[in-house]
Amino acid sequence: MKIISVVGARPNFMKIAPFIRALEVRRQTYGLELQHLLVHTGQHYDVRMSAAFFAALNIPEPDINLKVGSGSHAEQLGQTMIEFEKVLLAEKPDWVVVVGDVNATLACSVIAKRLHIKVAHIEAGLRSGDMRMPEEINRLVTDRLSDLLLTPDRMSSENLLREGVPAEKIRFVGNIMIDTLEANRDQAQELDLNAIVRQNRIEGQPDPVTGLRDGQFALMTMHRPSNVDHRQILMPIMDFLLTEVTADQPLVWPIHPRSKKQLQAFDCWEAVLQHPGVVLLEPLGYHEMMRLNLGARIMLTDSGGLQEECCVLGTPCLTLRWNTERPVTLREYGGASVLVGNNIERIRNEYLHTLSLEVAPSRPEYWDGAAASRMVEEILEREMVSR
List active site positions: 223
Q: Which amino acid, 81?
A: M
CA dist., res. 334 & res. 325, Å (int)? 16
- Find the distance separating the first CA and the last CA of the chain, reported in whole Å: 11
CA dist., res. 123 & res. 237, Å (int)? 31
205 phi-psi bin (left φ>0, alpha ψ -120 to 50, beta other):
beta
Q: Name the burial class of residue 204, with classes exposed (0-12), middle (13-18) and buried (19+) by CB atoms within 10 angstroms of its CB.
A: exposed
CA-based nearest residue to 57, from 96, 97, 12: 12
CA dist., res. 180 & res. 100, Å (int)? 15
CA dist., res. 99 & res. 122, Å (int)? 5
Beta strands in the chain, from DSSP E residues, in sequence order: 2-7, 35-40, 64-65, 95-99, 118-122, 148-151, 170-172, 218-221, 251-254, 278-281, 298-301, 317-319, 337-339
